[in-house]
Chain A
Amino acid sequence: MSDFDAIVVGSGMSGGWVAKELCERGLKTLVLERGPDVDPLTDYSDNLAPWEKSHLDRVRPQEAMAHYTRQKDVYVFYESTKQFWVRDSDHPYSVADGTDYEWYRGHHVGGRSLTWARMSFRFGDLDFNANKEDGIGVDWPIRYADLEPWYDKVEDFVGVSGEVPNLPTLPSGRYLPPFEMSCAEEVLKTSLTDRFDDRTLIVAPVANLKQAQPHHNALGRGDCQVRNLCYRGCSFGAYFSSNSATLPAARQTGNLSLQPDSIVHSLIYDDATQRVSGVRVIDRVTREAKTYTADIVFLNASAIATAQILLNSTSERYPNGLANDSDQVGRNLMDHVAGAQVSARVLGIDDKTVFGRRPAPGYIPRYVNYPNNDQPYKRGFAFQVYSQRGGWTGNRPGVGEALKTANQSPGDWWITLDAYAEVLPDPNNRVTLNSNQTDKWGIPIPHLDCRMGANEEALLQAASDDAFDILSHPSFSNVTRSPVEPTKPGNRIHEMGTARMGRNPTSSVLNAWNQAHTIDNLFITDGACMTSSAIVNPSITYMALSARAANYAADLKQAGALRI
């Protein structure tokens, strides 16, 4: 008899969804979170005025250099938000010579669901077909029709505000009313649609409640207040996080056990049943070792940590890591790539401004390599679009009243196209275990060997050229483009691919249901499962896959197929 019906390793974006679905299906579910619990009263900082934060909210330089060597570069790393980012000094990893990897992460209940950028786009069949068409990587074992009802379900629950015309390169979704465009975006949209049949501008659909529905209110969630402080945690529960939505829903069932400070060392494989029987846990604080058993195990630790756990789970049957007959565990590590920006002044709207701080950028969906693959590079890119009037700054000439006056009036309107491009799966981009170094809990640290390739660079160059062309229009002036410099792997915080889904057990780790090919009761629905990266932000896809796989596992359990 197992301790639990199911164990979910990780409480973030995908783990929260698995927990909710399993609990609602009646399974006694243990969620293990390696970091501490989060208390909105003390850990959220969204209600502090600027003058209530000490030292301009900067993290002390000596502390940042000693303990946050990576995380200090996250764009939302402040003294009052540093609790949402790991102390790198406690969580080291190594990288291969000549490479670097920017691994940004938070260890706490809710994980990066508290700090995500909330843009929610669906993968379409252009994406699910891509590997097969190109012969790169392996074919996805599912298509859009398999995931469509699950996107519907998760978008309803999450609350995504937006409006996407049904584009062949980007499916629409079940959205709450959208946030409207800014005047600068209207200018860009008009100039775009005048000149190009294949391009348009939208406001990115975001997981913020423009108009909360009764089922959102029932969880204590309210309307978005348009403060754009989401990275601080939201006291209104207005954006989706595990903390605001899935974990409260799971808790309401009475079936949830949430255990923070529980670091999963490895999974236990049982030769007799050929299944996973449980997990080995180390208490983060006391370092006490514990074991929990369950009929079903879901890994949702995030792509690199999930690979680390699998590789650290060795047995006679799986000497190279659990579920790793294919040798694909840890391989095909992907992210997205940025590093090409083009900005311009927007003309003709100097007598206009905005009210509020919309928590969503504009977005130009992918249009290249459709309907035919007619470009010298594979796949595509999209643009996130930022527009605003110039604000206060010390980086302008002038002193005294002249400086005050200049800062008191809104400056010129500016718009920036920031390219995001797809990253191809490459088996040489991989996570292994460092055989020489363990962390303070005695677990071998990850060793990362990952590079951006020629296709990523070609995509960015093409994106930069197109953005320059788009803004070279009488509606704009002062067009400036950044040098094309691909971001390092990890920089976009979309790591994925290290235990990919596929059709063939010899070349992939998971089947069409996110179930390990050779271990019936092991499921993986975090970013590790991704077969390709597409170009859209991935979280809502992780959620849809999680909900789908959790219900499949519950079906098997109900049918008696997964009892240990």
Chain B
Amino acid sequence: MDEIGLQRRQVFQGLIALSAVGGLAACGGESETVEPRLAQGASTGFFTNSEMALISALAQTLIPQTETAGAGQAGVPETLQLLATDWGDDAYRQYWRAGLAALEPELVSPAGESFLAQSPSVRNQILAAYDASVFEGAVENDFYRDLKNTVVEAYYKSEPGATEELAYEPVPGEWIGCVPLSEFPKTWAT
């Protein structure tokens, strides 16, 4: 089996595990949504399908669908693929490839299963723990910080991220220096 085929099989196995565990987790009343992009077949670009699967899972775990779009619905994985494919240079591409490859084993489940094999709720637990270790300084991983920053930037600069999740006012027309927060309770997108 060639490399891409192997990766596809791993993704497929991951999907089976994900649906099984996801079913159990749903009993806990949590909203669980499988990111739609994950199952949508071949990517065209620098990142392989398995890399895109990991990117999508990470992005959707960082910013899941709630009442508003998650990173997947907002097109964040595609933005990252475009950055690597059409924008970055070789150094940028290899930085991401190596960073993803090094990050994935850090995110295995306590049972040693891959991140992709987990349900969204378990992914959230795993990534939350890892994120805390990075931000508390116990683990040093600048790539993870870059990835998180890029996902967050791509999300809040997307149309749903800016206009639905946050408050977007392209042409304010006037400046008011002090208004009650209750009138504009959301973060301004720009």
Contacts and interface: CB of A to CB of B under 8 A. Distances in A.
A185 interface: yes
A185 B131 CA distance: 35
Task: State the 3 A-B residue pairs at the shortest beta-carbon distance, nearest first.
Answer: A394-B152, A356-B172, A394-B149
A55 B87 contact: yes
Nearest to A236: B171
A352 B185 CA distance: 9
Given A354-B178, A407-B166, 18 more contacts: A50-B189, A53-B157, A55-B87, A62-B89, A185-B177, A225-B172, A227-B172, A353-B184, A354-B177, A354-B179, A357-B172, A357-B188, A392-B187, A394-B149, A399-B127, A407-B152, A408-B166, A411-B187
A183 B180 CA distance: 10
B31 to A, nearest CB: 9
Interface in A175-206: 179-183, 185-186
Instruction: Kindly name the residue among B154, B162, B178 whose own CB sees the greatest number of chain A CB atoms within 10 A.
Output: B178
Interface string A388-428: 01011111111111111001111100000000000000000
Contacts of B180: 351-353
A394 B166 CA distance: 15
A109 B135 CA distance: 47
B100 interface: no
Contacts of B176: 180, 354-356
Interface in B123-181: 124, 127-128, 131-132, 135-136, 145, 148-154, 156-159, 162, 165-166, 169-181
A401 B66 contact: yes
B175 A358 contact: yes
A61 interface: yes
B184 A355 contact: yes
Given A400-B128, A410-B187, A60 B174 contact: no
B128 A226 contact: no
A58 interface: yes
B187 A409 contact: yes
A392 B172 contact: no
Contact of B162 (A50, A60, A357): A50
Given A61-B91, A353-B181, A404 B82 contact: no
Nearest to B79: A56
Interface majority SS (helix, strand, loop, mixed), chain A:
loop
A271 interface: no
Contacts of B87: 54-55, 58, 60
A399 B179 contact: no
A226 B169 CA distance: 10
Contacts of A180: 175-177
A392 B171 contact: no
Contacts of B173: 223, 225-226, 356
Contacts of A58: 83, 87
B175 A56 contact: no
Contact of A395 (B61, B66, B89, B145): B145
B175 A398 contact: no
Given A54-B82, A61-B91, A182-B177, A399 B172 contact: no
Interface of B: 61-64, 66, 68, 79, 82-83, 86-89, 91-92, 124, 127-128, 131-132, 135-136, 145, 148-154, 156-159, 162, 165-166, 169-190
B135 A397 contact: yes
A399 B92 contact: no
Interface residues of A, number: 52
A399 B175 contact: no
A54 to B, nearest CB: 7
Contacts of A353: 179-181, 183-184
A392 B89 contact: no
A272 interface: no
A185 B182 CA distance: 20
A227 B188 CA distance: 12
Nearest to A349: B178
A147 B46 CA distance: 61
A408 B157 contact: no
Contact of B156 (A60, A185, A392): A392
A399 B147 CA distance: 12
A88 to B, nearest CB: 18
Contacts of A1: none
A223 B128 CA distance: 47
B175 A179 contact: yes
A33 B127 CA distance: 55
Contact of B153 (A56, A397, A403): A56
A385 to B, nearest CB: 13
Nearest to A389: B187
A489 B7 CA distance: 53
A391 B159 CA distance: 17
B175 A409 contact: no
Nearest to B135: A397
A51 interface: yes
A58 B63 CA distance: 22
A168 to B, nearest CB: 27
Contacts of A225: 171-173
Contact of A400 (B61, B157, B158, B188): B61
Nearest to A47: B170
A395 B149 contact: yes
Contacts of A41: none
Given A51-B158, A407-B156, A408-B187, A401 B166 contact: no
A350 interface: yes
A49 interface: yes
A513 to B, nearest CB: 40
Interface in A50-86: 50-51, 53-56, 58, 60-62
Interface string A208-238: 0000000000000001011100000000000
B17 to A, nearest CB: 20
Nearest to B151: A394
A55 B189 CA distance: 18
29 contacts: A49-B170, A50-B158, A53-B157, A54-B82, A182-B178, A183-B177, A183-B178, A186-B177, A349-B178, A350-B181, A351-B180, A352-B181, A353-B181, A353-B183, A355-B172, A356-B172, A357-B172, A357-B190, A392-B156, A392-B189, A394-B149, A396-B135, A397-B131, A397-B132, A400-B63, A403-B62, A408-B166, A408-B186, A410-B185
A404 B165 contact: yes
A51 B162 contact: yes
Contacts of A357: 172, 175, 188, 190
Contacts of B88: 60-61
Nearest to B126: A399
Nearest to A396: B135
